[in-house]
Structure 1
Amino acid sequence: MTEDSLRSVAVERTATGHFTATNARGGTISFATEGAEFTPVELLLAAIGGCTAVDVDVATARHAEADRFLVTVTGHKVSDEQGNRMTDLAVTFSVAFPDGEEADRARAILPRAVKASHDRLCTVSRTVEIGTPVTATIQEP
């Protein structure tokens, strides 16, 4: 592994049930366990949808700008003998392009772009599908 491959975020508790994640570039996103803010599970769904949306947008936008580009990610949160987890994750694209030759090309490559993102490009969904160990440790202050 190299420094170029390392990704990290720091998560800080800001109030009871409220947190802010900060990336290495200084970007932040707040989340919570209740209320209007995203929950950690919703952030997971957003990460899956966002990752694959970026892949597909890059491929199709070379040809034409979409009139509508919506990605919906759904799943069921279950609690069973394996613990809490998400099942039946599904990513649905709803993309429309205007009329024209360039838009026809974008429409034609849309299925290939979605498949390529799912099968090999989207780091987030690939990690979820393949699975990777997660370690948890405690660092003394």
Structure 2
Amino acid sequence: MSEDSLRLVTVERIGTGRFTATNARGGTISFGTGDGTAFTPVELLLAAIGGCTAADVDLATSRHAEPTAFTVTVSGQKVGDETGNRMTDLAVGFSVTFPDGASGDRARAILPRAVAVSHDRLCTVSRTIEAGTPVTVSVEDD
């Protein structure tokens, strides 16, 4: 593994059920356990899936035309059973509109392929989930 491949986020507790994640570049995002309007970790997972594939699709299509509307909706069912809690039935839907004209026509034409390539090869987040990558946990001594 190279340092270029390492991704790191630190999560700190800022209050009861409230946390802030900080990335290596100093960016932060706050989230919580469901009280108030803060995103929950599961909602952040859905946002990560949508954001990852949206970035791929935007890069491919906006080369041809700037979209006039671009919305990605990500949904899933949270279930708990004998194997534990998890998300099922994850679905990503795109609603993208491009302007009239030749450039908009080109962007519309490549949209389905851009979505498919993101899903099948490019989106690190959804590819990781579909691959079923193991997660290890540890507790550091104080």
| TM value normalised by structure 1 | 0.99
- Residue 119 of structure 2 corresponds to which residue in structure 1? 118
Q: Deviations over 1:40-95 (max 9, x none)?
A: 00000000000000000000000000011000000000000110000000000000
Letter in 2 for 1:133: P
Is 1:44–2:37 an aligned residue pair?
no
Runs of at least 5 residues in structure 1 that lack an aligned partner in the other structure: none
Q: Deviations over 1:96-131 (max 9, x none)?
A: 111000000000000000000000000000000111
Percentage identity across paired residues of the two chains: 74
- Residue 22 of structure 1 corresponds to which residue in structure 2? 22
- Residue 100 of structure 1 corresponds to which residue in structure 2? 101
| Total equivalences in the alignment | 141
CA distance in structure 2 between the aligned counterparts of 1:121 and 1:23, rounded to whole angstroms: 21
Letter in 1 for 2:24: A
Aligned residue runs from structure 1 range 71-110, under 5 A: 71-110=72-111
Letter in 2 for 1:24: A
CA distance in structure 2 between the aligned counterparts of 1:11 and 1:100, rounded to whole angstroms: 47
Q: Deviations over 1:15-44 (max 9, x none)?
A: 000000000000000000021100000000
